[in-house]
Chain A
Amino acid sequence: DTEVTQTPKHLVMGMTNKKSLKCEQHMGHRAMYWYKQKAKKPPELMFVYSYEKLSINESVPSRFSPECPNSSLLNLHLHALQPEDSALYLCASSQGFGVEDFNQPQHFGDGTRLSIL
């Protein structure tokens, strides 16, 4: 069983809907990540939170809005998405986000498969 839990596993939404993806970890990790993965491509980093503060936003459109309510939770709020946003959205966590953490792996959730109609 994965130590990073993502809900829902599947989501189908229209372009005018508002929905949220949720991610939870209880490993005491201080860094959490959102990735987007399209078929036959590697995961692409979207956002990084370190100590509950947004550290990296990889020029992601504003229709994606991340939120880190506490050190264990990470949300991704979705609004007015486009068909090209259909993808697998992966959440991950790691002990930290500094150079001293490079020798620690990231822990991934199972992902949310998102389809935009």
Chain B
Amino acid sequence: ILNVEQSPQSLHVQEGDSTNFTCSFPSSNFYALHWYRWETAKSPEALFVMTLNGDEKKKGRISATLNTKEGYSYLYIKGSQPEDSATYLCAVPGAGSYQLTFGKGTKLSVIP
């Protein structure tokens, strides 16, 4: 079982603030790192899948970076909006099969 950790567990920010949170994972036998956004009463939505060390991906105001050598990824949200309120999950597949191990998530609340 892979150890995938996310921090912080929860975060409250004011509308307009920028924020970031962390996902750490085992750096050995790395294949990919997935980020998902999960809004209440909706399905988890894929944000990014990252595979290369130094990779940086962007989707609107959200971006993510990846460091496979030290085993971490950062997710950044610029100018947070209330609609960004959600739980952000990261996940990694295990060795040899596409079986995702999820972190416990970071719950973001953006206060208008």
Write the chain B residue with the least CB distance to A4: B43
For residues 6 through 57 of chain A, which have their beta carbon under 8 Å from a beta carbon of chain B?
31, 40-43, 45, 48, 55-56
Closest 10 CB pairs of A and B: A105-B46, A42-B102, A102-B32, A108-B43, A108-B44, A102-B31, A2-B43, A110-B43, A97-B98, A102-B93
Interface residues in chain B, defined as those with a beta carbon under 8 Å from any beta carbon in chain A: 31-32, 34, 36, 41-46, 49, 51, 89, 93, 96-100, 102-105
| Binary per-residue interface labels of chain A (66-90) against chain B in the complex, 1 for a CB within 8 Å, 0 otherwise | 0000000000000000000000001
Contacts of B100 in A (CB 8 A): 45, 106
> Would you give the shortest CB distance from A59 to chain B, in whole angstroms?
12
The reply to whether A99 and B31 contact each other, CB–CB distance below 8 Å, is yes
Q: Residue B49 contacts which of A43, A55, A103, A108 (CB distance < 8 angstroms)? A: A103
Per the bound structure, the CA–CA distance linking A109 and B41 in Å amounts to: 11
Contacts of B89 in A (CB 8 A): 42-43
Find the residue from B36, B46, B97 having the highest chain A CB count within 10 A.
B97
Per the bound structure, the CA–CA distance linking A2 and B43 in Å amounts to: 7
Interface residues in chain A, defined as those with a beta carbon under 8 Å from any beta carbon in chain B: 2, 4, 31, 40-43, 45, 48, 55-56, 90, 94, 96-99, 101-111
Contacts of B103 in A (CB 8 A): 42
CB contact under 8 A between A105 and B99, given known A2-B43, A4-B43, A99-B31: no
Per the bound structure, the CA–CA distance linking A110 and B40 in Å amounts to: 10
Per the bound structure, the CA–CA distance linking A4 and B43 in Å amounts to: 9
CB contact under 8 A between A56 and B99, given known A102-B51, A105-B34, A105-B49: yes
Per the bound structure, the CA–CA distance linking A73 and B12 in Å amounts to: 39
The reply to whether B46 and A99 contact each other, CB–CB distance below 8 Å, is no
Contacts of A102 in B (CB 8 A): 31-32, 49, 51, 93, 98
> Would you give the shortest CB distance from B101 to chain A, in whole angstroms?
8
CB contact under 8 A between A106 and B34, given known A4-B43, A42-B89, A42-B104: yes
